[in-house]
Chain A
């Protein structure tokens, strides 16, 4: 992938490193080492600094993730609404533990803190799209919508 081409449009955007990383992740869902080294050159900073930014934010990942990133909210309002049971259902349905990616590279399951959709808990997001009031029994149905 041509990381240079994706990120160089942000070269002259002040503080544009985060925007550049977002642009890379829009393409491949994670930030490979090569992308971080390229970013350091474009933004004229030490690689360690670009790496420091890449690893600070939970939405950036330095390891490959699946096509669909599922985030299970575990903040207090979702916690008391039964987030743990939903997490177990997700793990069982996907055959992976939280933090892992399915072998076919389709799904990654992560924990997240509050995503600001607390009108109906518990909440999961799939590639940023929220699903509200998720019950364990509905998990399979929701996953089936990811083609």
Chain B
């Protein structure tokens, strides 16, 4: 059976998250010390060589992102941690931080040193007030010990807006505005917070940094899938036996996730579909279960790794009803800035509601497909672009269920 491999969760259950001394005893902040003995560009090269790619869903090369900011001349640069995890079924960042807040602070401090930033922010979703307290405590302990040197860190709390997980919306929110995504380019590494070069990385991405600096790029590059090395923290929900979190190498198969780590289907009911990456992910049928979870394999299968949420459904589940609920999510969370998303999510919900209540027509299905295509191409940010994916893939693989509900 496949084994868990804990890199970002290495300290879970082993240290007291409220005590910086515990983290230090476990070898904490040694990587920061090591990084500071290197030239900043060497740190970036090491991260780039490791092959680490963003764990928030976009899968962009972390080292390359850092290099963009490093090369920009600016009086001020920022390092921001995106802890606005709002993808339904996802709670990995909370698990990482509840157990090991300093792994984030260390990763951010290494990044700040590498790119030449002096100021950092952690943007924590409003749903996690206790994490704000824990991070403030951790930051003041680290500052008191002089571990962060001249790197100043502030913890900020969001207020319940899924779209703020999009990095430019998050930046707008940090600036005290409505959390509406910006038109890009320019991208944040060049012009972000207060128009200054800004690195925005996910909690899990930063949590990988200290181990990479400690053990070296080639060690990390050798773990998991070649084009998306390392591990991924997954959270298992739905009709699965073990509703828990796991950290596995990125070449683990979806089938292993469900049947080995997840213990299989709850109450031994037959498998129907799995949605990976949160509510914006595609639904995958049985025939796709041998896909490896890494970013590129998932994309090739027409799905996404996303946040790493794994939502499993058994054959008793009504796909139309589930997809209708998901459409309601996007209708509620669309920020309203761009028309394709504002109108599209609303119409999608309207049509699905109609089909789900038995009043849909064949033409409605065609409209859904067309609307989905338009949205995926024309929405301003990832929210609207990904919103149709669950509906379109459910129609593709479970079309008979939609047809059966038509008028």
Q: Which residue of A is nearest B323, CB measured?
A: A76
Cβ–Cβ < 8 Å partners of A58 in chain B: 159-161
Decide: A59 near B91, CB < 8 A? Known: A74-B325, A79-B322, A80-B238. Answer: no
Q: B-facing mask of A50-93, CB < 8 A → 1, else 0?
A: 00110011111000000000000011110110000000000000
A18 in complex: contacting residue of B127, B157, B326, CB < 8 Å: B157
Q: Select B173's contact among A18, A43, A80, A121, beta carbons within 8 Å.
A: A18
Of the 9-residue stretches B14-22, B175-183, B256-264, B338-346, which lies at the interface with chain A?
B175-183
Question: How long is the Cα–Cα vector from A57 to B157 in the complex, in angstroms?
Answer: 12
Contacts of A99 in B (CB 8 A): none
Q: A79-B325, A113-B333, A118-B91 are in contact. Are A128 and B179 (CB under 8 A)?
A: no
A15 pairs with B174, CB closer than 8 A = yes
Are A14's CB and B194's CB within 8 A? yes
Shortest distance from the beta carbon of A76 to any chain B beta carbon, whole Å = 5
Are B239 and A80 interface neighbours, CB within 8 A? yes
Instruction: Please give, as numbers and ranges, the residues of chain B lying within 8 Å of A22 by CB-CB distance.
Output: 157, 159
Q: A58-B160, A77-B311 are in contact. Are A113 and B322 (CB under 8 A)?
A: no
Determine if A128 and B159 form an interchain contact, defined as CB atoms under 8 angstroms apart.
no
Known pairs A18-B173, A59-B126, A128-B129; A116 contacts B156 (CB<8 A): no
Asked if B116 CB lies within 8 Å of chain A CBs, one says: no
Per-residue A-contact encoding for B186-197, CB less than 8 Å = 1, 0 else = 000000001000
A34 within 8 A of partner (CB): no
The answer for the CA separation of A76 and B319 in the assembled complex, in Å, is 11
Set of chain A residues within 8 Å of B239, measured between Cβ atoms: 80
Say which residue of B162, B173, B275, B335 sits within 8 Å of A113 (CB atoms). Answer: B162
Residue from A16, A56, A115 having most chain B Cβ neighbours under 10 A? A56
Which interface class (under 10, 10 to 19, 20 to 34, 35 or more) fits B? Answer: 35 or more
Cα–Cα, bound, A21→B178 (Å)? 13
A145: interface (CB < 8 Å): no
Cα A80 to Cα B312 in complex, Å, equals 10
| B205 → A minimal CB distance (Å) | 18
Q: A53-B178, A75-B329 are in contact. Are A119 and B243 (CB under 8 A)?
A: yes
Docked CA distance A18–B239 (Å): 38
The answer to whether A17 and B176 touch across the interface, beta carbons within 8 angstroms, is yes
Contact A77 B159 (CB under 8 A): no
Q: Mark A112-132, 1 if CB is under 8 A from B, else 0.
A: 111111111100010010000
Is B237 an interface residue, CB under 8 A from the partner? yes
Which residues of chain B are near A128, meaning CB under 8 Å?
A: 127, 129
Given contacts A57-B161, A77-B311, contact A18 B156 (CB under 8 A): yes
Residue of A nearest to B235 (CB): A118
- Given known pairs A15-B176, A118-B243, the reply for A21 and B88 (CB within 8 Å) is no
- Report A-chain residues with C-beta under 8 Å of the C-beta of B175: 14-15
Q: Flag whether A33 is at the interface (Cβ < 8 A).
A: no
Chain B residue with the shortest CB-CB distance to A111: B332
Which listed residue (B156, B322, B333) contacts A19, Cβ 8 A? B156
**Of the candidates B89, B157, B178, B317, which one forms a contact with A75 in the assembled complex, judged by CB atoms under 8 Å apart?**
B89
B87 within 8 A of A: yes
Is there contact, CB below 8 Å, between B173 and A75? no
B114 within 8 A of partner (CB) = no
Chain B residues near A19: list those with CB within 8 A.
Answer: 156-157
A76 near B159: Cβ-Cβ < 8 Å: no
Question: Which B residues are CB-close (under 8 A) to A75?
Answer: 88-89, 279, 325, 329
Closest 9 CB pairs of A and B: A57-B159, A75-B88, A15-B176, A114-B88, A58-B160, A17-B176, A59-B160, A59-B159, A77-B237
